[in-house]
A and B are shown apart, each in its own frame.
Chain A
Amino acid sequence: MIKVEWFYWLCGIFFVLIALQVLNDRTNPKRVGSAAFWGILGLSFGYGTFVVNKQAPAWLLGIAVIGLAMLAGSGFPGKGEERTTTPAERVHLADRFGNKLFLPALVIPVVAAIFGAWLAKVKLGDGTPLLQTGSATIIGLGVASILALIVGMVLLRPQTGAVGRGRNALQNPGVPLHEGRRLLEHIGWAAILPQMLATLGLLFNASGVGKAVGRVTDHLIPKGSLIAAVALYCIGMAVFTIIMGNAFAAFPVMTAAVGWPLLVQQFGGTPAVVFAVGMLAGFCGTLCTPMAANFNLVPAALLEMKDQYGPIKAQIPTAVPLLACNILVMYVFAF
């Protein structure tokens, strides 16, 4: 069975190698702290395996997580000088390699889709699944990235000094690692933000914040008004999702407070419609919140945007009318 932990180790090794590179990068004014950041992150990926398997104490990783947050709060990781091709060189290289350049980029979605749609269902001789259950997407992405890298290396042969100038003449396997570091340094600490927020959401949930909010919403509904109850459920899902960054965390709360007792039990709504549309109303909230960092802040970092809220600003004018659509769809079809 192909296990998802292998790919977490791959990520861990990548981060550790980045840390070693950063430590040697004298152009980076914050190289020690930055190397510490990527190094701790890398080690925590491997250590996480033992935490998940209950073979190692989780609190040690907890300390590492707080350490990462403190490093991020003090301005780490920093960035070194970029050593890559110039735009002019790239135009020249694009002329030389042409559409072959798309091949590695297309390998990733194709291979990932094959894993997610087909290999996820394949079973081995002894009946166990080929891919660890529930992790086909992650495994597919990992394998796809490795294959794409192999295709890219064969196609581009980066060691031949094709780019010419001495400062770019890196050793063969060093080139993708170096270029990967360039992108990762652009993303910076935002790279771990989604994981941090996911962890924080878990703590929120467990400490009962949700239940308290559920009690408050009880007092907000005018008695006997169906449209008010529908609107409260949908808007509540969106607002709660904006706060938590996560529609899945909002769903049990709003459903226990409004969806089930009022919409289904009192007004006799069709459960499938109420719950399906309620969740989608929550997704409208996800479009608007920086708390959903992996969907909203990481793309901004990846695209090197000056305004990290750019994607959210592009999405809010869609999210608001779509939320109204959800209220309408539920009102019309569920009752």
Chain B
Amino acid sequence: MGSARHRGGGRRVRPPDQLDARSHGGRYRRRPDRRPVAGQDPKILNAFGDGFAGSRSVTVFIVTLPVIGLIERYGLQQQARKLIGRLKVVTTGRLLAVYLLIRQGTAALGLTSIGGPAQAVRPLIHPMAAGAAERRYGGKLPDKLQEKIKGFAASADTVGLFFGEDIFVAIGSILLITGFVDATYGLHLEAIDIALWAIPTGICALLIHGARLLLLDRKLDRLAAEIKAAEKETAR
């Protein structure tokens, strides 16, 4: 579900003569009793319908929910926590940084569907990241820490996908670039050139977000210490 198409590559842009919102608003204002019926071509409703039918691919992620719910029912998240909890070298930040690297690397090879919030983050990555933190801070995590870990787990997936997939040649965004500029300006751009020039930014993304993920451990340490101090304060 993570393919670039969901950022809009699959959208068919209608020429303006097929859809002019303002003129139709006017028409319906003059004839408020006019109901859209087949044959009269109610263009705005048609555009809504066509757009919704053409965008169904972004909702397909829901087909993973039954199996993920099932294995969660049988303790998947608890098992993931247990597994990571045993490995002392694995911290939340390091785990997410490794996931970022894997996500970006596989996306650069065109394997965009290997990760994703429904397929990977919810069932595997987040429970592991939370498990590592639970071991470090002992027991159930305070809400603040949980939210931080969740936010960063989601971000590792998204950043890895965005700045990895553009290094792969046959991805929607590259085909959109070459398609658009070749048709509009009469150029003959090679998809491989576009893909190569995505590499510098890809490296920057890995360095910046990877560093922030590694620093997350210290941030969590600070947050946990603050919360503990606040608890002591109220206990007194």
Task: List residues of chain A with CB under 8 Å of any chain B CB.
Answer: 4, 7-8, 10-11, 14-15, 44-45, 47-49, 51-52, 57-66, 84-85, 87, 89-99, 101-102, 104-105, 108-109, 112-113, 115-117, 134-135, 137-138, 140-142, 144-146, 148-149, 152-153, 156, 158, 162-163, 175-184, 191-192, 194-196, 198-203, 205-208, 246-249, 251-252, 255-256, 260, 264, 271-273, 275-277, 279-280, 283, 286-287, 292, 294-296, 298-300, 302-303, 305-307, 310-311, 313-315, 317-318, 321-322, 325-326, 329, 333
Contacts and interface: CB of A to CB of B under 8 A. Distances in A.
A318 B205 contact: yes
A208 B124 contact: no
A146 B172 CA distance: 26
B49 A60 contact: yes
A286 B11 contact: no
B113 A137 contact: yes
Given A61-B52, A137-B1, A325-B201, A256 B147 contact: no
Nearest to A54: B50
A231 to B, nearest CB: 15
A206 B16 contact: yes
Given A248-B9, A272-B189, A299-B117, A306 B65 contact: no
A97 B77 CA distance: 12
Contact of A195 (B52, B80, B212): B52
Contact of B151 (A65, A90, A310): A310
Contacts of A63: 36, 45, 49
A213 B27 CA distance: 26
B135 interface: no
Interface stretch (B66-74, B87-95, B224-232): B66-74
Interface residues of B, number: 119
Nearest to B79: A94
A62 B44 contact: yes
A75 B14 CA distance: 32
Interface of B: 1-3, 5-16, 18-22, 36, 38, 42, 44-80, 82-83, 106, 109-115, 117-124, 126, 143, 147-148, 150-155, 157-159, 162-163, 166, 172-174, 176-177, 180-181, 184-185, 187, 189-190, 193-198, 200-201, 204-205, 208-209, 212
B159 A202 contact: no
A113 B181 contact: no
A140 B63 CA distance: 11
Contacts of B1: 137-138, 141, 294
B163 A283 contact: yes
Given A87-B78, A303-B153, A310-B151, 11 more contacts: A11-B56, A58-B46, A84-B72, A85-B74, A101-B75, A145-B64, A195-B59, A252-B184, A296-B158, A303-B126, A333-B197
28 contacts: A14-B63, A58-B53, A63-B45, A63-B49, A85-B74, A93-B74, A95-B75, A99-B83, A101-B71, A109-B115, A113-B114, A134-B5, A184-B62, A192-B59, A194-B58, A198-B6, A199-B48, A206-B13, A271-B181, A275-B189, A276-B196, A276-B197, A277-B200, A302-B121, A310-B148, A314-B152, A321-B208, A325-B208
